[in-house]
Chains A and B, each alone.
Chain A
């Protein structure tokens, strides 16, 4: 036995009640976070939805005054926003109200990020120009404007859910063909476990830290789904092998033997996947930060479920 297996003395089936209790606690916490988030009037969704899902305009400005910048407060920017006259959009009702816009200062006040209701390109331009007296000169090369129509957000959400469902079906079909229905069911249970806990973590992050989920989060969930099954299937492959080699043992012991044989690999590959993600978290910039965090959570939970959940549920489900 190699180093990690010896340290942990793997006999997961003997300790399965402890392992299940840990997972159940995580699941209950996740569901609790999702429920609280849903009941919170300012969120009203399982996770705090970002711009991609709600629709709106996000403008990021880079101030070009360098160290000579006058001190800027978010309140001053908010104040100024409400007094900017917006050109009306052709064929639309009155221009949107900018009261209640979210203003964020980044980079020690050098970057200003505005979250606004959905604006047309002209209206966005008007906001940028209208803020000049407060913010001072900005660098046009550092400008970013994103406008997402509200219909697009719901389409995006639907597209993500559909692709998640389709990959569920595709993956379970594949496992049913390569193994059997029981293994497919187990893989999907683990997958649901991993996706739910990742969502739970982000619902708590949204509740406590205001972290929003965007379409990159949807991408992360889909990747976690793929990764989770990838991880679980390797154990399945080994269980199948042990069932042939160790015919005299009970299924739970065969599963333990398979876990013992693959534990090192599970830990090492999760770790090597975490390393580039860690690099993304540290150096990848703000756009990819939460994406990398979501993937990291998914990788850790995925490794856990493939070691602690799949091989312990297998003997129980196989008996019934």
Chain B
């Protein structure tokens, strides 16, 4: 009896803990339940790499993570799947095309030398670029200050008068859409200029594949920042050759990302002999700390080792998600209710105990989802509802055995004990075979198949605990009250052997 009470206390404590857990850690809902976008990205083999392996996948993931941070979607997650896929989840995001654009493009980083004889044209373009950047920078600073409720910094009036801007745009042959604001026009100009600059370069000498990493540091002389680059050995050699070629010539070294020039560096005459050697370099451009960081991120982001392709996009609106939650909740509750009615009708007092154990089972199940944590998706909920049905199985097996024992004339307490013992081996076999399927599904399945396997697997393991511990403890505890020790609470009188009725 003391043992029963000990178990009962444990179950009670677990139930309270589970309840508290659910209160403080809400269940994580998948995108199909809360709305948002999910993109599956396939990493493609390229160049010398014929098969994508785990290491390359991680490298791509790292780069993409930095780009995602730039998207500004809260709680976005990026996970690797298998050996060559990544799954990006953007909760609440209704327009996956933006993410697809940022992530799906290869973002090719190239180092290029300026073509000889283009100095004058380059000068003009660079001047436009600096001017546009300066005005845009000021405008953004002003906007940020206004947004923070601060007084905008006093600025000397735009150093890019409207007529001059219009003329520059015309000269570049840019069509300005009607009603474009000044900032729009400036950005358009900057875009065009950056593309034009690229046309003044020779074909790529080498690409970001040879870039190992990028960093930033404060300049030793002067107050600005510089961006440091380090290359692979091949990259270092290529960089030396490239810088040797243009050193002192007044031609520039272009750093090009996705066909847009992001930086133009000059190489001093002191490198005429051998170029910049040693496999590392710095780009000095009197950058502010902010600019240096942006460039660093872009450079590192640009060194995406392999191209990626978006192979799957799923977008679910929030109201559709709420619909899914409601319908599956209704399904789960009515499923539980139907089972409860059936169990009480067929097994009487034991059925009541089973329903309590089953409710505890559902509670523990949900608490485990919060604890592990399991992200609940629609198939996951289906797994949960199905496991509710299957959890009953263990109880049915036990109760049928108890009935058998009662029919053959055993006493109630003995029947209960024997019932549990005899049912154990078939319960174990049945649950373990289901568990084997779950493991296979989890190990080999993709995305939401995994979600289903996890919830069903947890369900199967828990149902062992709930049937063998909760049901047994509660039943034994009830049997300590003599008033409840009636075989007819378990079986219709007609089925009892004549001797005991």
Contacts and interface: CB of A to CB of B under 8 A. Distances in A.
A69 interface: no
Given A144-B316, A144-B320, A174-B433, A280 B400 contact: no
Nearest to A147: B313
B434 interface: yes
B397 interface: yes
B312 A160 contact: no
A122 interface: yes
A279 B338 contact: yes
B141 to A, nearest CB: 32
B417 interface: no
Across the A-B interface, the 5 shortest Cβ-Cβ residue pairs = A276-B335, A226-B437, A149-B311, A121-B97, A273-B389
A316 to B, nearest CB: 23
A145 B328 contact: no
Contacts of A261: 404
A120 B100 contact: yes
B449 A272 contact: no
Given A144-B317, A265-B396, 4 more contacts: A120-B97, A226-B436, A276-B336, A285-B324
Interface of A: 2, 60, 62, 90, 120-122, 124-125, 139-149, 151-152, 155-156, 159-160, 162-164, 166-167, 170-171, 174-175, 178, 215-216, 218-219, 222-223, 225-227, 229-231, 233-234, 236-238, 261-262, 264-265, 268-269, 271-280, 282-285, 287-288, 291-292, 295
B95 A125 contact: yes
Nearest to A166: B440
Interface string B90-123: 0000111101110001000000000000000000
Nearest to A231: B430
B66 interface: no
5 contacts: A140-B317, A151-B311, A216-B382, A269-B392, A272-B393
A287 B335 CA distance: 17
Contacts of A278: 335, 338
Interface string B376-390: 001100100110111
Interface stretch (B18-26, B185-193, B339-347): B339-347
Given A171-B437, A275-B335, A279-B338, A223 B456 contact: yes
A219 B449 contact: yes
Contacts of A283: 327, 330-331, 334
Contacts of B309: 149
A53 B343 CA distance: 40
Contact of B317 (A139, A156, A233, A279): A139
B385 A280 contact: yes
B331 A90 contact: no
B478 to A, nearest CB: 22
B163 interface: no
B380 to A, nearest CB: 11
B429 A152 contact: no
A233 B392 CA distance: 16
Contacts of B343: 272
Contact of A175 (B392, B433, B438): B433
Interface of B: 32, 35, 40, 42, 94-97, 99-101, 105, 309-320, 323-324, 327-328, 330-332, 334-336, 338-339, 342-343, 346, 378-379, 382, 385-386, 388-390, 392-393, 396-397, 400, 403-404, 425-426, 429-434, 436-441, 443-446, 448-449, 452, 456, 495
B440 A141 contact: no
Contacts of B320: 60, 62, 141-144
A237 B425 contact: yes
A272 B339 contact: yes
A230 B437 CA distance: 11
Given A145-B313, A223-B386, A276 B338 contact: yes
A276 B388 contact: yes
B467 to A, nearest CB: 12
Given A144-B315, A272-B389, A292 B382 contact: yes
A259 B176 CA distance: 83
Contacts of B96: 121, 145
Contacts of A124: 97, 313
Contacts of A139: 317, 319
A278 B328 CA distance: 12
B433 A142 contact: no
B444 A233 contact: no
A276 B35 CA distance: 26
Contacts of A62: 317, 319-320
B317 A121 contact: no
B443 A163 contact: yes
B429 A148 contact: no
B433 A233 contact: yes
B453 to A, nearest CB: 8
Contacts of A122: 97, 100-101
Contacts of A125: 95, 97
B425 A143 contact: no
Contact of B315 (A143, A219, A268): A143
A176 B448 CA distance: 31
B382 A288 contact: yes
Contact of A276 (B32, B324, B339, B425): B339
B311 A152 contact: yes
B449 to A, nearest CB: 6
Contacts of A159: 444-446, 449
B425 A280 contact: no
Contacts of B330: 279, 283
A142 B317 contact: yes
